[in-house]
Amino acid sequence: MVRSRFSRVEENKTKKRLFIVIVLTILIVILVFAVGIPLLVRVSALLGSINAQGQPLVSNDTTAPYAPILSPINDTTNNAKLTIEGFAEPETTLTLMVNGDKAKETLLGKEGTFTIEDVVLQSGKNSITAVATDKAGNASAESNTLVVNYKTKGPQLEVLEPADGQSFDKDHQEITVKGTTDKDAQVWINDRFVSVTDEGTFEHKLKLSDGENVLKIVAKDSAGNEKVLEKTVTYNP
């Protein structure tokens, strides 16, 4: 009798424990369906949205863009800033460098062409190159190199003959103007072009007018810098 009562007590305890386990299991299942599945759906939708925008989750792209091409420019200038044009692989990031230092960076469109303004030059020689980097981080080889000499000082100019203030008589109405300048400079005397030798010398004959004559000698280098001298001579026939 005692054992039978004890058995019933144990049986009731077992049933209670089983009931609790069943209830907890049902609650866990409900929680998973209520929270877990919607969360998985949201994550899946987000990943699908990213993929639809053309952004791969994992990129296996290891091919570098082709090297950019820079359009030719004058090799000498007296402007402190330049505009650089060219083209590279579309939709890449173009980095422009001057003497090895990053000067400008821009994102290219679908055409791949670019115009970069206000590229600051250093005094003297400037080597300009560019590199294109794609979305996967692959960098191209360097572009062709543009070399630009930035000069602000005009060419040297010296007039050897005639002397300033010199007078000429009737037997010397035609005189010769002689001088020296940089060998790559161009010279004008009273707006007439005068050739310069490989040694940087020049001379030009001109006929004087009666009285005072002003000689204007201009030397200009390839950067556009000028040096101007004036001499005044007198012709007394």
CATH number at residue 91: 2.60.40.10
Report the pLDDT averaged over residues 218-237.
Answer: 95
- Give the integer Cα–Cα distance in Å for 205 and 227: 21
- Residue where a domain terminates, one of 120, 150, 180: 150
Residue 63 within a domain: no
Q: Are residues 163 and 140 in the same domain?
A: no
Count up the domains in the chain and report the number.
Answer: 3
Give tens-digit pLDDT for 51-67.
555 554 455 788 999 99
Alpha helices per DSSP H over the chain: 2-31, 37-52
Q: Are residues 161 and 232 in the same domain?
A: yes
Domain that holds residue 29: 1-58
Residue 64 within a domain: no
Q: Are residues 8 and 36 in the same domain?
A: yes
| Helix, strand, or coil (residue 95) | strand
Residue 92 within a domain: yes
- Residue where a domain terminates, one of 13, 35, 58: 58
- Give the integer Cα–Cα distance in Å for 60 and 47: 18
> For all residues of the chain together, what is the average pLDDT?
86
Q: Are residues 142 and 175 in the same domain?
A: no
Query: What pLDDT score was predicted for residue 56?
Result: 47
Residue 115 within a domain: yes
The residues with which 125 forms a beta bridge, in sequence order, are 149
Which long-range contacts does 69-72 make (Cβ < 8 Å, 24+ apart)?
Answer: 69/143, 69/144, 70/128, 70/129, 70/130, 70/143, 70/144, 70/146, 72/146
This prediction has a pTM of: 0.61
Q: Are residues 208 and 164 in the same domain?
A: yes
Report the pLDDT averaged over residues 105-132.
Answer: 96
Query: Measured between alpha carbons, how far apart are the two ends of the chain, in Å?
Result: 163
